[in-house]
Amino acid sequence: MSGSYNLIRLHGFGDIAREHRRSRPHLLAAVDGGTRLTYADFDRRSTRLANALADQGIGEGSRVLWLGQNSHRILETLVACAKVGASLCPANWRSSVEEVKALIADYTPHLVIWQEAEVGETMRAARADAGGDARWVQHDLDGPDGYEALIAAGDEQDRDLRISPELPLLALFTAAFAGKPNAAMLPHSTLMYQNLLISRGQMIDERSVHLNSGPLFHIGTLLGTLATFHLGGCNVYTPRVDARTLLELIQAEKVTHAFVPAPTIAQIREINKDGAYDVSSLWSSPAAPEWKFPMCMPADAPMLRQMGGYGQSEVMGLISFLFLGGTGAGRVSPMAQVALLDDAGREVPAGEVGEFAVRGPLVMAGYLGAAAENERRSRFGWHLTNDLGRRTEDGSLIFVGPKMAMIKSADENIYPVEVEACIRQHPAVADVCVIGVPDPVWRQNVKAVIVLKADASVGEAEIVEHCRARIASYKKPKLVAFVTALPKIPGTQFNDRKAIDAAHGGGGYPSFG
């Protein structure tokens, strides 16, 4: 209606920090090692960083890449990007040099913030080869070329740019269905709607203390981080997962919410079996109970509710929730529509299996620079998830499985098609199928079933090494089998994965239903 009111109604992700500075100036925003920042500090620093970015020409549509472990600086940079209209990609720091190079080539960042500790060798190698004219800033470096110097270079005056909440803000690499990961571009409004839902499901408010123990390049951790920030709670950071460090932080900061990968829970329980650490702010019993959902809060934690559901990075993590009611993966989010479609885009009859198709502001704005994949995934007026599911008679969602296979190792998603594409590059390989084999600790191990070319010869170690050099180490096969032929789905060139699983011990694939 009124032009002034259109401008007044804008609320970007940066505006959250602005209001926290007014509403919660003294509350803690971040604890990270020796660093403790109030919301007044947080907004001041993110404003300085936004101004420093703007002074270097970073503005609407620009891209910033984070190549490091967990740090309070990720959220600070996200908010600075929000204030100038740029997007931030927190990349997987466990990537290989080749993967980082591919990621840089795909995301084409204008600024890279990278870390020396633990991952410096990989990042420097990728930088040397990557080309491009991005500026590189080291976040764990004191001195004129470091992150703190960049912040100090920005002036304190908030320029208060009015940013459309429909601009992409967060970029998450995900879903290697096309053989390589793509960056799902998630707008400000997507994050904000999801924050309100997550805060509802996990009862997050300004008294919440959220331990960022899972990786911040993973939507599962980010959901809690972003909702805690939005509601004015405190985010506690640790660069990587270490069970004893987590216990110390839970006790010291009176952590109320946490994302802890499933294998770490067992370690925590073992270390704390005598109750030496006070974890009563998070768990009802000193030896932490098993969590029902790896991405979720413990069902019996004080003030928390069970956090099950269905989702993927492309729809901001979760678009159905058990806390909303129902069974299986629960009811669809108040900010989404879900239809079950057949391959022609028609809704399948009640109770039958179809592909989950999603609409609404929780859906990404598309993959960056992937026109063909965007077209393939956005048909019939819906985002196609590539996941199969059905509805119960009462309307709840049931997750059936990926339309294409996925392997889960700890909390990492591994797409067979990506590993297969890598192995196929080996000159000795004629055909390959990558499957997941159940593992008591890691949930699944990657196994490659390989057909060699006539007269070719190669050993298991060479295949593993071939992969290690090209993709993230956790994606490489731990097991290799050589066969003379792979069974195919009748009438197609596609591997019959069911038959191959049966013959080679495959199973334990992830299911959220």
Sheet holding 168-174, edge to edge: 135-138, 111-114, 63-67, 87-90, 168-174, 182-187
To a second copy, the closest distance from the beta carbon of 131 in angstroms equals: 25
As given in the structure block, the two tokens for residue 284 are 């009802």
Task: Name residues contacting a second copy, limited to 173-192 (CB under 8 A).
Answer: 185, 187, 190, 192
Task: Name residues contacting a second copy, limited to 363-402 (CB under 8 A).
Answer: 363-366, 368, 371, 374-375, 378-379, 381-383, 391, 394-396
Cβ-based nearer residue to a second copy, 395 or 507: 395
- CB-based burial of residue 48 (10 Å sphere; 0-12 exposed, 13-18 middle, 19+ buried)? buried
To a second copy, the closest distance from the beta carbon of 176 in angstroms equals: 19
Task: Name residues contacting a second copy, limited to 199-228 (CB under 8 A).
Answer: 199-200, 205-207
As given in the structure block, the two tokens for residue 508 are 């334990």
Cβ-based nearer residue to a second copy, 509 or 512: 512
Please report the sign of the dihedral spanned by the C-alpha atoms of residue 275, residue 276, residue 278, residue 279. Answer: negative
Cβ-based nearer residue to a second copy, 122 or 202: 202
Sheet holding 479-483, edge to edge: 429-439, 443-452, 479-483
Closest among 453, 508, 446 to 482, alpha carbons compared: 453
Point out which span in 71-79, 326-334, 415-423, 491-499 binds a second copy (CB under 8 A). 326-334
Q: How far apart are CA 425 and CA 498, in angstroms?
A: 25
Task: Name residues contacting a second copy, limited to 2-31 (CB under 8 A).
Answer: 2, 4-11, 15-16, 18-19, 22-26
Cβ-based nearer residue to a second copy, 155 or 160: 160
Among 28, 134, 339, 421, binds a second copy (CB under 8 A): 339
Compute φ and ψ for 121, nearest 5 degrees: -60, -50
Among 89, 332, 421, 471, binds a second copy (CB under 8 A): 332
Please report the sign of the dihedral spanned by the C-alpha atoms of residue 312, residue 313, residue 314, residue 316. Answer: positive
58: helix, strand or coil: coil
DSSP conformation class of 386: E
Task: Name residues contacting a second copy, limited to 392-451 (CB under 8 A).
Answer: 394-396
Number of chain residues interacting with a second copy (CB under 8 A): 72
Cβ-based nearer residue to a second copy, 26 or 492: 26
Cβ-based nearer residue to a second copy, 365 or 471: 365
Among 58, 255, 336, 400, binds a second copy (CB under 8 A): 336
DSSP one-letter string for 27-47:
SEEEEETTEEEEHHHHHHHHH
Cβ-based nearer residue to a second copy, 334 or 507: 334
DSSP one-letter string for 102-161:
HHHHHH--SEEEE--TTTHHHHHHHHHHH-S--EEEETT--STTBHHHHHHHS-S-----
Task: Name residues contacting a second copy, limited to 116-175 (CB under 8 A).
Answer: 162, 165-166, 168
Task: Name residues contacting a second copy, limited to 222-281 (CB under 8 A).
Answer: 230-232
To a second copy, the closest distance from the beta carbon of 499 in angstroms equals: 35
Task: Name residues contacting a second copy, limited to 26-85 (CB under 8 A).
Answer: 26
